């Protein structure tokens, strides 16, 4: 999106330049508009208040009507001045709003122009996908049309077989109702055969599973027996080693005892 980034940068630069130009030319900002509007509202309220006070004070004077007229005239002068400033402020607001509207429109135009290549690429991809689908549909239609004669021939051959089968049954003296009954009986036999075949398969699978489990149990027992034999042989070997060590110790002790007796006899 380099184009869009450049457009945004240009729009931002234009906005910054416009803001700088406004500040340099003395055009108030939006917050300045609010402050000026508050000032005008305060002056209007103050003018109304002073007029009300003046009216109240006039009734305590001798020339009441003259006083009221003067108070009204003073109020109108101030109100006219406020009105003049209000109109000027409204004009400035309209100008500023128009400038902001034009700026936003320029940003949107720049964004739209920046997105134009992406939209064109997407439109091209959509058009290509549509053309591919159309070609695939045409190929499917052509293939189906090419296979139509074969399907018709297959259907015709099937109908001929059905007719020949009906003729054969009629020649054998089998009525259509009898043929239907025979077909039903045949279907029942086939279903029963299939059921028995499925049961045989299930039984065979179950027996195979049982044989596998028996083989596993046999191997487990063989392994346990071999381990038991190894343990017994190990214990027997340990017992034999202990017995041999004991005999050797006894023989050694006997030899030491005989040597001691010989020494005592010599003394």
The answer to whether residue 204 is domain-embedded is no
Instruction: For residue 27, give the 3-state DSSP assignment.
Output: coil
Which DSSP category does 63 fall into?
-
The answer to whether residue 228 is domain-embedded is no
Residue with tokens 């549509």: 130
Q: Are 33 and 96 in contact (CB under 8 A)?
A: yes
The answer to whether residue 194 is domain-embedded is no
* CA distance linking residue 83 with residue 247, whole number of Å: 135
Q: Which of 171, 119, 175 is nearest to 4 (CA)?
A: 119
* CA distance linking residue 254 with residue 92, whole number of Å: 133
Q: Are 3 and 114 in contact (CB under 8 A)?
A: yes
N residues, the chain: 267
Going by C-beta distance under 8 Å and a sequence separation of 6 or more, which residues neighbour residue 68? 55, 58
Residue 110 lies in domain:
2-143
What pLDDT is attached to residue 7?
42
Total domain count for the chain? 1
pLDDT in tens, 146-192: 888 888 888 888 888 877 777 776 667 666 777 778 778 888 888 98
The answer to whether residue 170 is domain-embedded is no
The answer to whether residue 62 is domain-embedded is yes
What pLDDT is attached to residue 90?
95
What pLDDT is attached to residue 30?
65
CA atoms within 13 A of residue 165's CA, in its CB half-sphere: 10
What pLDDT is attached to residue 28?
52
The answer to whether residue 72 is domain-embedded is yes
Instruction: For residue 1, give the 3-state DSSP assignment.
Output: coil
pTM exceeding the 0.75 threshold for the entire prediction: no
Count other Cβ atoms within 10 Å, centred on residue 98: 10
Count other Cβ atoms within 10 Å, centred on residue 37: 14
What pLDDT is attached to residue 20?
46
The answer to whether residue 210 is domain-embedded is no
The answer to whether residue 160 is domain-embedded is no
Residues of the chain with pLDDT under 70: 1-30, 169-171, 173-175, 267
pLDDT in tens, 130-147: 988 998 998 888 888 888
CA atoms within 13 A of residue 6's CA, in its CB half-sphere: 6
């Amino acid at each position: 999106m380099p184009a869009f980034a450049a457009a945004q940068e240009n729009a931002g630069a234009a906005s910054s330049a416009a803001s700088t130009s406004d500040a340099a030319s003395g055009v108030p900002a939006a917050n300045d508009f609010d402050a000026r509007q508050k000032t005008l509202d305060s002056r209007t309220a103050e003018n109304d208040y002073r007029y009300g006070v003046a009216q109240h004070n006039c009734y305590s004077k001798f020339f009441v009507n003259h006083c009221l007229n003067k108070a009204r005239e003073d109020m109108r002068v101030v109100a006219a001045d406020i009105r003049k400033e209000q109109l000027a402020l409204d004009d400035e607001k309209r100008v500023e709003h128009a400038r902001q509207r034009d700026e936003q429109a320029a940003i949107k135009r720049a964004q739209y122009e920046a997105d134009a290549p992406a939209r064109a690429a997407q439109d091209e991809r959509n058009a290509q996908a549509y053309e591919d689908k159309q070609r695939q549909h045409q190929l499917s239609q052509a293939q189906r049309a090419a296979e139509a004669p074969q399907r018709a021939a297959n259907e015709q051959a099937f109908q001929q077989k059905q007719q020949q089968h009906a003729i054969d049954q009629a020649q054998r003296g089998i009525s259509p109702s009898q043929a239907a009954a025979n077909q039903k009986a045949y279907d029942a036999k086939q279903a029963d055969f299939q059921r028995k075949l499925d049961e045989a398969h299930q039984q065979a699978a179950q027996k195979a599973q049982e044989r596998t489990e028996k083989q596993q149990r046999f191997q487990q027992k063989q392994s346990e027996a071999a381990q038991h034999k190894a343990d017994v042989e190990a214990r027997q070997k340990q017992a034999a080693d202990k017995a041999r060590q004991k005999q050797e110790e006894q023989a050694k002790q006997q030899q030491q005892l005989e040597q001691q007796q010989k020494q005592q006899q010599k003394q």
